[in-house]
Chains A and B, each alone.
Chain A
Amino acid sequence: MSHNFLSLLFIVGLMLVAVPPITYLERKVLGHMQQRPGPMVVGPHGILQPLADAIKLIFKEDIIPKGADRLLFMIAPSFSVFAALLAASVVPIGFINAVPMKSALLFVMAMSAISIYALFLAGYSSNDKYSFLAGMRAAAQVLGYELPMGFALMGVVILFGSFDFREIVRWQELHGWGILYQPLAFLIFLIMMVAEVGRPPFDLPEGESELVGGFHTEYSGMRFAAFFFGEYINIIVLSLVVSLLFFGGWSGPFVDKFPVLGVIYQLLKAGFFVFLTFWLRATFPRYRFDQMLKIMWKVFLPLSILNLFIAALEAYVVG
């Protein structure tokens, strides 16, 4: 029990502590991909920039616009953070497993679906047409990506025969990495993951260039920061999930003797996918709304259903 509590503390702490460095890294990576150095002034190579941002955000005035639905407006950002942290709590990192749960994957999916409520409620309660449009987009985006994502995961689950991450990794230790069996599911999951956390090229609810920041137009101070905490924690969690489902999680050489190595392996694998989200952001423009829905419904949904059949076939042959 106490062991679980400690690891819960560790995971929640890790998620909260990891966000500022990740925002820093994102700005650095984005900058260098555009041949500029990114933050440079605060501290050596701007390494204290997240701290400066945090101080700025804490001391900013907390504005609630006139005519806003006060209660919803105030609690909407917490949906984002708490759903993301709840999802993080069931994801094991190496031997650290805060809440061992038989249906952990399902729980992660449910929680990351709830985190979209934050965007929707924020857009609905802001009393601002841009925020409202962003909320509508968020809602439509959920309908777009949830189905292909669910079907892609269903294929994986059929193959592994479990929702439990430990079981999934054990299966991969026996049979090899999941990506070898399910490359299509991996691709679909990756793209849907980007859509889920609302990053470019699927950052429609945010839409800086056309919606003035979308759902967080009216937010300031720590409520605004809470959205970003939620978003980045979601990125970390889903990257960890990708590493668990398709890249063997903490499996790797010498893990039996030194379990700490497993943590490092998994964080490295997940780190690559965090980097990938930055990379995509630096490379691609935003999809138009109808284009996004077209891709989701007409391309990825049929593909993910097709993948389900492939997975069933593989499960029959392998298992």
Chain B
Amino acid sequence: MNLLKKAAFTDLLKGMKITLKTMFKPTVTVHYPFEKVPPRKRFRGIHALKLNPDGSYRCEACYLCAEMCPSNVIDMEMTEGENGEKELVDFTVDLTRCLFCGLCVEACPRDAIVMTDIYEFSQYDIKKLVLHKEDLLELGRYYQKWERERER
């Protein structure tokens, strides 16, 4: 009986039946560059710096995020302001090293550094992967818009 089954290729035919059936099933492909799956709510994309509603920086250059970072991604520069407070001059995020763990976001006491849902940031020039303050603030505006839309 076993030999008969083998001779009639029953198992092979079963497999072929499955592939034939699958051929007429709808495909499950997402045509990526043309259509995208929106990331989840808590997705960790590239960083952004938020602004206060009055337009001042939220970041107070406390260095907690830089301390927290396991791969030394974040660096910042600051000076003393007119009234003796810390003032941010530059804030750099080196994306070539970042592993998107989100510890900097956890560490931030002012909710200044956040992570957007942007995951397409390939560049031809490696220097462009080091984000400076202006880039981060730009991303921050995008983030705040996105945040408002998400909450609605």
Contacts and interface: CB of A to CB of B under 8 A. Distances in A.
A29 B23 contact: yes
Nearest to B14: A283
Contacts of B26: 35
A306 interface: no
Contact of A32 (B15, B18, B27, B31): B27
Contacts of A32: 22-24, 27
Q: How extensive is the interface on chain B, given as a class?
A: 10 to 19
B89 interface: no
B37 interface: no
Contacts of B29: 35-37, 40
B12 interface: yes
Interface in A1-45: 29, 31-37, 40
Q: How extensive is the interface on chain A, given as a class?
A: 10 to 19
Given A33-B20, A35-B26, A283-B18, 15 more contacts: A31-B27, A32-B23, A32-B24, A33-B19, A33-B22, A35-B25, A35-B27, A37-B31, A40-B29, A40-B31, A279-B16, A279-B19, A279-B20, A283-B12, A283-B19
Nearest to A191: B9
Interface of B: 12, 15-16, 18-20, 22-29, 31
Contacts of B19: 33, 279, 282-283
A282 B19 CA distance: 7
A284 interface: yes
Contacts of B20: 33, 279
23 contacts: A29-B23, A32-B23, A33-B19, A33-B20, A33-B22, A34-B22, A35-B22, A35-B25, A35-B27, A35-B28, A35-B29, A36-B27, A37-B29, A37-B31, A40-B29, A40-B31, A279-B16, A279-B19, A279-B20, A280-B16, A282-B19, A283-B12, A283-B18
